[in-house]
Structure 1
């Protein structure tokens, strides 16, 4: 049985909630992570770009004085509609890239261990295993140059299969989530050292631990029905944990993250606060089916896709009547590259997700998403939580 060490993928912000300024900064971190992966590890490594890896880059910048925040002009890219952009550049983006690549290596190894799809064939599995080993080594070298040891991540992932094998009804769910918590705590805490604010390491480690807990919980909740249909291992099912208890743990983690961030000394907190205090509760609601992914969005409104992964920023698009046919890792990579090179990820009204087979919508198709919302203008003049930096209508209408 392969370990189910959770990959990042929770923070999928909607343009409504970010507003134009924060949306631009968020995309700058997304592109910065992608280009850091390419620069340090080669073109193919860019498929390790993911939503939550961006949080590492965002947290580093949030603790860094503005005069030291790095930006550079990136050339035209098909995933930006062949437009140039000013993107995040520096140690935060590189750490995000190393962490993302290390976790991608874990993911590939999980697929190999489980014999998923084409990986059931030995020659393909051997090749994939070599790719995973190469990524793990490259991530270790890159992170070592930043003073971070990816061995903490890989050791945590290595513990996961043994923990799952021993888990059964009555096992505390937090026993199963511990490896993910440990890995994310280490990554979050290291952003404080990169920003030369070591006093932030302890509160950020706590925020990272709870972020990892949420990642594992929400992944288990979202996959429970599918895992049951496939006969796959799922933490909630294996430990006989009710969904109500999982929701309680998720809400408790949200509160803990807010408190930890309040104890963190930030110089520019707006985007980090928006992602971790405002967007994470929406991720929890989305996973537990407690309403639309975006507070300004009608439940039946399609949402834009993300240019780098198969999941849209504001939540999943409405399902097609047909049953999605998931692809294996390598087949999905091929489809992803084809979609990117033909700009369908950006401009298509509708396309199939590279890995999931679910219906997605091009990120530019609903670019002016304010004409889809019913909120008129929320008229907020500050959210009252001392940190989001909103200075007017929060939906940017």
Structure 2
């Protein structure tokens, strides 16, 4: 799963979390239903914004949701998921952009794609996704040629860009592509008056997506010699941050100009969570769950630490004053810890297999609790232990007016 808008379920609250998951699962199942199982790999957090915006503008209808069967990613539970033109538009956009991304990696010879047979297979997959996206886009009245044109222009702009080239010149193709996709949600919802403000919100969202990707990849690209817009144009991080903050402000103003039937989820994602994505990319603040970017940092993927500061998410270390079952009387970490019957630690390879299973089923980030792959101790999912205090009250209010951190007036 990828994307720049990655909300914590704690901040969304139960109601908005259910809506968000409905759109995420709806996008995934639409890809599977229309284009086969393999197409589900292009499911992404940002693509579902198209579905969210479409539904936010229409009156509630009986056909907006359907009940999906059990899925491993939901702990084998059924769920109400989004369906309809919004989900199909999101699928079309995701397929076309994924196709372009694969072609770009093939052209650059990245990793395994430098090998002829792998590159040939990747080209075929990319071509198939491109045709599928164009077909689905046509069925909902969206011409995906604007996306393909943006990708083609992007390559030409990057070739010519150099020191002194305005950064916004480089981000313009991405801005145009996302503006077209956001604006078409107004067409699908039958709200033509929303097309202009949503096009502006989409344009600025595309700018942010490009900027944040460049910021996050800056050091990696420098080490590998890959092209990066910040490095190529000589743009300092301070200027990139200024542009990002201006884009955030512009998105909030644009959302105020659009008419929504129920815009709470769209507002939280585009006004609040997007701001946190900017902070995360620039390292100015972080979410409350430790090790969010490093699965091993909080012990979720490794044996429990046997010393160091106390972490309430970790099982207590032996005889540290918190574990009544500790054996031995030595210092912290000096004796064997109590284990319930049948809960011994897994070996290296068995733990690796369990860790892969946890990742593939998203339990590490989405489950309230899961069993540590090596220690077999209870762990809390990343998104179940966030201590962020902002917007805790948003679920209960109509438009986030109770949130002191929101200056967008919605």
**TM-score bin (small chain):** 0.7 to 0.9
Residue of structure 2 equivalent to 1:388? 400
Structure 1 residue 52 displacement after superposition: 0.2
The answer (yes or no) to whether the contact 1:185–1:212 under 8 Å persists in 2 is: yes
Matches within 5 A, 1:259-298: 259-292=253-286, 294=287, 297=288
- Per the normalisation by structure 1, the TM-score is 0.79
The answer (yes or no) to whether the contact 1:302–1:317 under 8 Å persists in 2 is: yes
Structure 1 residue 342 displacement after superposition: 4.2
Residue of structure 1 equivalent to 2:29? 35
Structure 1 residue 157 displacement after superposition: 0.2
Structure 1 residue 102 displacement after superposition: 0.6
Matches within 5 A, 1:230-309: 230-292=224-286, 294=287, 297=288, 301-303=290-292
SS of the aligned residue for 2:66 comes to: strand
User: Is the aligned partner of 1:366 residue 2:393?
Assistant: no
Flag structure 1 segments of 5+ consecutive residues without an equivalent.
1-6, 304-315, 322-337, 351-363
Cα displacement string for residues 126-156 of structure 1 (whole angstroms, at most 9, x for unaligned residues): 1111110111011101110000011100110
Kindly name which structure, 1 or 2, has the bigger radius of gyration based on alpha carbons.
Answer: 2
- Per the normalisation by structure 2, the TM-score is 0.77
SS of the aligned residue for 2:254 comes to: helix
The answer (yes or no) to whether the contact 2:30–2:88 under 8 Å persists in 1 is: yes
Instruction: Quickly say closer, same or farther: Cα 1:54–1:388, change in 2 above 3 A.
Output: farther
Residue of structure 1 equivalent to 2:5? 11
Flag structure 2 segments of 5+ consecutive residues without an equivalent.
299-352, 366-377
Structure 1 residue 17 displacement after superposition: 1.3
Runs of 4+ in 1 over 2 A off after TM superposition: 316-321, 338-350, 364-375, 377-384, 386-391
The answer (yes or no) to whether the contact 1:348–1:365 under 8 Å persists in 2 is: no
The answer (yes or no) to whether the contact 1:339–1:345 under 8 Å persists in 2 is: no
User: Is the aligned partner of 1:106 residue 2:100?
Assistant: yes
Residue of structure 1 equivalent to 2:360? 345
SS of the aligned residue for 2:79 comes to: strand
Provide the alpha-carbon RMSD of the alignment. 2.9
The answer (yes or no) to whether the contact 1:270–1:387 under 8 Å persists in 2 is: yes
SS of the aligned residue for 1:66 comes to: coil
Greater mean alpha carbon deviation, residues 338-347 or residues 98-107? 338-347
Report 1 or 2 for greater relative contact order, CA contacts < 8 Å, sequence distance ≥ 6.
1
SS of the aligned residue for 1:149 comes to: coil
For 1:50 and 1:213, the matched residues in 2 are separated by 18
Instruction: Quickly say closer, same or farther: Cα 1:141–1:347, change in 2 above 3 A.
Output: closer
User: Which among 38, 51, 58 is matched to residue 57 of structure 1?
Assistant: 51
SS of the aligned residue for 2:203 comes to: helix
For 1:24 and 1:167, the matched residues in 2 are separated by 44
Structure 1 residue 69 displacement after superposition: 6.0
For 2:396 and 2:164, the matched residues in 1 are separated by 41
* Count of equivalent residues: 339
Greater mean alpha carbon deviation, residues 29-38 or residues 63-72? 63-72
Instruction: Quickly say closer, same or farther: Cα 1:225–1:367, change in 2 above 3 A.
Output: closer
Structure 1 residue 16 displacement after superposition: 1.9
